[in-house]
Amino acid sequence: MEYFDNLQQPHHSMLLYEKTEFARLVKSKYIKNSLKKQEHTICVTHENPKYLEQELFSTGLDVDYFKQKKLLHIYQIDNIMEHKDGLRKGFQELLKLITAESKPPYNFMGRIIPDVSTKEGMDAELEIEHLFHSNFESYSSSFLCTYNIEDIAQEQRQDILKTLLANHHHVVYAVESEKAVAFETDLLA
């Protein structure tokens, strides 16, 4: 959990988890750290935003306070795989929409594609990850991307994880609080 206390901005990080209860704590820590620095924090979800608000509140975050200060923004996003002009255009429009009420540096948390358990969904997510990471310098932001390991197809898991690691600066692998690890992905090269 202390990993986020020393993480330099900007960064493109990945949370890879097995248990949702520990993932909730890691996400909360990431959000609390950015809010403590008075940075705009943008959370994206495909579910009702109230679920994420309740999740954050249960970890001790005063969600209403930070929303009123216009530092915490939680958006329910559409599936950009269905965008009429394609995935890349959908991603560009989504970023424009969710940053409209915020000021850089942005701190994003979530995942863009709702269902990465299918080949089509994971391929789209990997394309977005590569697009964001290869143009990282042009964004004034940090991003914590969240993945449940169980959503990644077992037969393709090794290749998918290699691609995800190649498109992130850091990874937090959260199995259990006592067994979590965090490291820079450059260490794998």
Q: Where are the domains of the chain?
A: 12-188
CA distance 169 to 128: 15
Q: Residue 188: its pLDDT value, please?
A: 66
- Closest by alpha carbon to 22, among 180, 134, 155? 180
- Residue with tokens 């954050």, as numbered in its chain: 56
Helices 20-36 and 49-58, packing angle to 10 deg: 80
pLDDT tens for each residue of the chain, 189 residues long: 566 676 777 899 999 999 888 888 889 999 999 999 999 999 999 999 999 999 999 999 999 999 999 999 999 999 999 999 999 999 999 999 999 999 888 999 999 999 999 999 999 999 999 999 999 988 889 999 999 999 998 899 999 999 999 999 999 887 765 666 777 777 665
Q: Residue 1: its pLDDT value, please?
A: 56
Helix (H) or strand (E) holding 41: strand 40-45
Q: Residue 187: its pLDDT value, please?
A: 66
Alpha helix ranges (H) inside the chain: 20-36, 49-58, 63-68, 87-98, 119-134, 157-166
Sequence letter at residue 97: L
The CATH code for residues 12-188 is: 3.40.50.300
pTM listed for this prediction: 0.91
Q: Residue 78: its pLDDT value, please?
A: 95
Q: Residue 173: its pLDDT value, please?
A: 87
Query: 35, 106 in Cβ contact below 8 A?
Result: no
Structure tokens at 144: 């914590």
